Structure 1
Amino acid sequence: MDTYALAVQQLKKAIENAIEKAISNGELPHAEAAPFIIETPADRSHGDFATNAAMAGAKAFRMPPFKIAQAITSNLDLEGTMFDRFETAGPGFINFFLGTEFYSAVIREILANPEAYGRSEYGRDEKVMVEFVSANPTGPMHMGNARGGALGDCLAAVLDKAGYNAWREFYVNDAGNQIEKFGCSLEARYLQIFKGDEIEFPEDGYQGEDIKDLAKEYADLNGDSLVNVSAEERKKALVDFALPKNIEKMQADMEKYKIFYDKWFFESELHKSGAVKAVVDLLTEKGLTYEKEGAVWYKNKEVLTQKLLKEGKSQKYIDNLELKDDVLIRQNGNPTYFTADIAYHKNKFDRGFTTLIDVWGADHHGHVMRMKGAMDAIGYDGDKLNVVLMQLVKLVKDGELVKMSKRTGKAIQLGDLLDEVPVDSARFLFNTKEANTQMDFDLDLAVSQDNQNPVYYVQYAHARICSIFKSLAKEGISPRECTDAELALLTAPEEKELINHLASYTNEIISAAKDYDPTKVTRYVTQLATLFHKFYNACRVKGEEEGLMQARLALCNCVRAVIKNVLTMFNISCPESM
């Protein structure tokens, strides 16, 4: 168990023992104590930890919280814990202050195995799939994919660190309506090369320059060989030529972005295997489909109404949602995207993943409830499907918004972004804002090499520590293991604040994993860099008495280790000099 968790466990047990003792000696009435929390106060001057046990027990004990707090504290024994004192505050909060043993234990824990620090068994090796980006392969990836890539990849890294068996997957929509549209767009651009403007471009076709480039590339290689063949043969030849090129470019962009998937899953595999038809048959067997106007429909409204009623939602609430049924098989006999998506998520569960996490754009919010309901409908637990909805990204340069227009082919592509912005900056900056908030991505900030750029700021803290050790090494001074008495010398407020922050790292990883929010760890390491610079400015390392110098070197080593730990986890470089 890590030092932080051990301290919390010790404190919880001490409080529970104090309540039991207060009940047995009559200071508190006989009653079942209410659950209480132990938390870290925003202002550590009020204590390193605090509990609401007195307030939580007011109803059960039928006493004012302050009186309960007095009863608890009069029976509180901190012997054998990492705490050396406590005090009551306000209406009944009890605050606790850590002793030197805690601070020494944190440093020893980190230095014992720096690379493993922060790792826990919280996830119990549960198989979790994180599916992210999954961009349409009919065109280049864009800014939204850049954000989704950083969030998804770093979320998987956090889950892994928290003890889950995390799997990264990219779902390639290489079948269905968008591929048909892709083929029609390529066909029109190809024929325009040889027949000019007499060939009209489809009104709903893909307008990007990439379509023209792919059609021209085929024409340059194969001439007019497709001009006089059937439309179906022409479209198939063009798609078979262009689609692998697009997918290869997507894979190259992801690798450039330092994202490596465990699997690229192709939608076409679902169709070839019969999985899409099988899911329609399964829903039909369950009485959840019907035919109307030549199409097969899914009783989405019925399924979701029953689900919401079971959850305690009112009929009025449900009516306001204006739920509708969904088409599974179109009149032309082709399955919809929704049908393939049900089959794909069924496939995920069938492969043994017990929790599914999808990172989707916020425009897919209406799809979340439908997909959860569909999982329930086919016999799986829809609540095991979790969707992280990601808001839009705005690109800013020189304080001005950079307009993006996918329809006119002027979108900012992921590849272009990574040509202009260091990958480290992109991965870090996209992880500074929670997925559910809109984000301005500042190009000037991303390329700047100063403390305004958060990744530079964190990397600089690491490099600064490395330079301290290099400088001392030139003078023949090397770090060594410290005694308890030497570590007990770390009593300055800046030192204690820094060690407290280091101690919370494992807990922060677990919190980020529970909330599917890797930005918590980015903020954590940024704050760690801030606290280190504060310590560095307040506490000399070189020139102090040898014991204190070694203790401070040990603390520096811990900070260096945790910064490297976070940056390595997020696949961001960790320079030793800058």
Structure 2
Amino acid sequence: MNIFKDFETRIRNVVEAIVRGRNEGPVDLEKVTVEPPRDPAHGDLATNAAMVLAKPLKLRPRELAVIISGHLSADSDVESVEIAGPGFINMRLKQTFWTAHLKSLLVAGADYGRGQATGRKINVEYVSANPTGPMHVGHCRGAVVGDAIANLMAFAGNEVTKEYYVNDAGAQINVLAHSAFLRYREALGRSIGEIPAGLYPGDYLKSVGAALAIKYGDRLEGMDEAEWLPIVKDFAIDAMMMMIRDDLKALGIRHDVFFSERTLHAGEPGRIAEAVEDLREKGFIYTGTLPPPKGQLPEDWEDREQTLFRSTEVGDDMDRPLIKSDGSYTYFAADVAYFKDKFDRGFDEMVYVLGADHGGYVKRLEAVARAVSGGKAELDVVLCQLVKLFRNGEPVRMSKRSGDFVTLAEVVEEVGRDPVRFMMLFRKSDAPLDFDFQKVTEQSKDNPVFYVQYAHARAHSVVRQAAAEGISPPEAAALTEEALAGLTDEGEVGLIQKLAEFPRVIQSAAQAKEPHRLPFYLYDLASMFHAQYNRGKDLPDLRFVKVDDPKLTEARLALVLSVASVLASGLRLVGAEAPEEMR
């Protein structure tokens, strides 16, 4: 249960009763919010209801706050109501409310915080690295962010498809094929000298060349380029995608769909032509010229008549070329066809996770969404800033395997999947991230992933300690208000209140596409749990296991298991393990 949404509903019911009593017309209640106060000393919940509704109700904010507070004071779960400043309302809830919520958490178990099914189909496309080599650490952040967003949106109640767009058409694939062919000749024992400029130099292509030599012998050498190029191209793409899938698997990522760009170009007239024609029928296509943009000219700009998308009518900064003067499609035309394909597949919302260097694509993609779907589908673009690697504070730049960048596989192999996934989320995606190999593996409070996982392991250690004393956790369904009544210490109540924030964190992180909110929350929860555990070292009466008071111990074990359950759920959504023991 999301207690904040629950109290939003209660407050809106109160306001509707006030409106009826004053014979006022309908009032928009969408801006009414309930959230934790910034200062816990002010109460358990805070609402802006009086501030946002005073004007439409023709009352002063504080005057309306007094009226609303009178109704809330009659709520059986509310201990007290206070008005702060010009009209903010703070509430304190009764102890019985918190213990009842703790029981509902334990009964829900792994489903605590899960949203009700929305019926919305959401496509989250992420990674989509060109299949020209192994994934590097720059891809890593987008991969983790996209996967976490998809996990959160699914847990929030949506039907989510995880998708990878395979850029297997275009000039870079020809470069890949020529690079692989060079390594093929090398595998046959031919001298290839220095890798020519413009080709991919990494050692990872040696295995591709060797595999080509095993399969085809020297037959490819005797073919014209027009014959061997498509053979090598297909072979190299398959090899690269196998490598990329292995990299993603090491990171714990599995996509539901791998969508090939080449399928958009295939057939007659082809899906790109169909997408352009669809826009034409909707009045978004015309023939004309574009003025040169300021700064560096993009590759698809031409000073001659082209087929243009009237994207400025749907929010873009400038109209976009779709068909060049020579009749070939621009790269952006494939983007239009790809979005239309998603829309035709029935998705209500499309999320694109892109690198920060794609910031210029945001408005044009949003324009495509409005034009193609007629405003029926939502589109969100999440940008991920660069990751800088450090070891003991010194920059890490080069990779033996790739030749000019650090691969994702090398990072995961050195520090493990969990630190990589957790730390890639431990900062907002649009802010640069420093990743230090040493810091993410040290066992201290300064290493967030260790600190959170250690809290989960410590919780299970407490349960094992109680079991050694012959005390077992009570069954969740059998818990009574009386059994939990002993949880009155401020640290215990604070933990329950923090646990109650979890459903709100899930919903807000999913809605805002900001997965960093979850590891931040997990770190705060772990910190509170460790603090309460340490208080028991100084104050024996606060220890989770009190051998001389089995009933109180059972209540505290219920709290400890609740903490463990939420930490495990959060770590699972992050994509990290929740160990029960750590040595």
**TM-score, shorter chain, exceeding 0.5:** yes
Which of residues 548, 553, 558 in structure 1 aligns to 2:557?
Answer: 553
Give me the TM-score of the superposition, normalised by structure 2: 0.86
Q: CA deviation at 1:571?
A: 3.1
Letter in 1 for 2:431: T
The separation in 2 between residues aligned to 1:268 and 1:450, in whole angstroms, is 49
Q: CA deviation at 1:245?
A: 0.9
Match of 1:173 in 2: 167
Which residues of 2 match residues 67-78 of structure 1 at below 5 A?
67-73=63-69, 75-78=70-73
Match of 2:10 in 1: 10
Which of residues 474, 499, 503 in structure 1 aligns to 2:500?
Answer: 503
Conserved 8 A contact 1:482-1:550: no
Match of 1:435 in 2: 429
Letter in 2 for 1:51: T
Larger mean Cα displacement after TM superposition, 261-270 or 224-233: 224-233
Q: CA deviation at 1:88?
A: 2.1
The separation in 1 between residues aligned to 2:559 and 2:14, in whole angstroms, is 29
Q: Cα 1:523–1:457, aligned 2, differ >3 Å: closer, same or farther?
A: same
SS at match of 2:133: coil
Q: Cα 1:330–1:532, aligned 2, differ >3 Å: closer, same or farther?
A: farther
SS at match of 1:246: helix
Residue 541 (1) aligns with residue 550 (2): no
1:446-504 CA distances to partner (integer Å, 9 max, x unpaired)? 22233322121111111111111111112211122443123222222111111111111
Conserved 8 A contact 1:295-1:327: no
Letter in 1 for 2:576: I
Q: CA deviation at 1:250?
A: 0.8
Q: CA deviation at 1:31?
A: 8.4
The separation in 2 between residues aligned to 1:134 and 1:196, in whole angstroms, is 31
Q: CA deviation at 1:348?
A: 0.8
Residue 210 (1) aligns with residue 204 (2): yes
1:194-246 CA distances to partner (integer Å, 9 max, x unpaired)? 3645x983x54334333455345534765543334212223223223322111
The separation in 2 between residues aligned to 1:328 and 1:134, in whole angstroms, is 24
1:242-272 CA distances to partner (integer Å, 9 max, x unpaired)? 2211111111111121111111111122222
Q: CA deviation at 1:288?
A: 0.9
- Gaps spanning 5+ residues in structure 1: where? 25-29, 309-317
Residue 229 (1) aligns with residue 223 (2): yes
Which of residues 254, 258, 261 in structure 2 aligns to 1:264?
Answer: 258
The separation in 2 between residues aligned to 1:520 and 1:167, in whole angstroms, is 22
Q: CA deviation at 1:526?
A: 1.4
1:146-180 CA distances to partner (integer Å, 9 max, x unpaired)? 11111111111111111000110111111222212
Which of residues 103, 110, 114 in structure 1 aligns to 2:105?
Answer: 110
Q: Cα 1:296–1:148, aligned 2, differ >3 Å: closer, same or farther?
A: farther
Which residues of 2 match residues 44-123 of structure 1 at below 5 A?
44-60=40-56, 64-73=60-69, 75-121=70-116
The separation in 1 between residues aligned to 2:459 and 2:581, in whole angstroms, is 9
Conserved 8 A contact 1:372-1:383: no
Q: CA deviation at 1:549?
A: 2.0
SS at match of 1:299: strand
Match of 1:347 in 2: 341
Q: Cα 1:407–1:278, aligned 2, differ >3 Å: closer, same or farther?
A: farther
Which of residues 379, 382, 389 in structure 2 aligns to 1:388?
Answer: 382
SS at match of 1:440: strand
Q: Cα 1:510–1:379, aligned 2, differ >3 Å: closer, same or farther?
A: closer
Which residues of 2 match residues 98-497 of structure 1 at below 5 A?
98-121=93-116, 124-188=118-182, 190=184, 194=190, 196-197=192-193, 201=196, 203-211=197-205, 214-215=208-209, 217-219=211-213, 222=216, 224-273=218-267, 274-285=270-281, 286=283, 288-290=285-287, 297-300=306-309, 303-308=310-315, 321=317, 323=318, 325-329=320-324, 331=326, 334-381=328-375, 384-403=378-397, 409-480=403-474, 481-497=478-494
Letter in 2 for 1:569: L
Q: CA deviation at 1:19?
A: 7.2
Amino-acid identity (%): 35
The separation in 2 between residues aligned to 1:335 and 1:528, in whole angstroms, is 52
Q: CA deviation at 1:370?
A: 1.6
The separation in 2 between residues aligned to 1:353 and 1:101, in whole angstroms, is 43
Q: Cα 1:71–1:163, aligned 2, differ >3 Å: closer, same or farther?
A: closer
Q: Cα 1:68–1:340, aligned 2, differ >3 Å: closer, same or farther?
A: closer
The separation in 1 between residues aligned to 2:28 and 2:409, in whole angstroms, is 55
Q: CA deviation at 1:17?
A: 4.4
Conserved 8 A contact 1:17-1:76: no
Letter in 1 for 2:10: Q
Letter in 2 for 1:114: G
Corresponding residue pairs, total: 553
The separation in 2 between residues aligned to 1:419 and 1:407, in whole angstroms, is 13
Match of 1:528 in 2: 525
1:253-307 CA distances to partner (integer Å, 9 max, x unpaired)? 111211111111111222224212322343455461438889983423xx23222
Q: CA RMSD of the aligned region, Å?
A: 3.0
Match of 2:571 in 1: 567
Larger mean Cα displacement after TM superposition, 488-497 or 164-173: 488-497
Match of 1:314 in 2: none
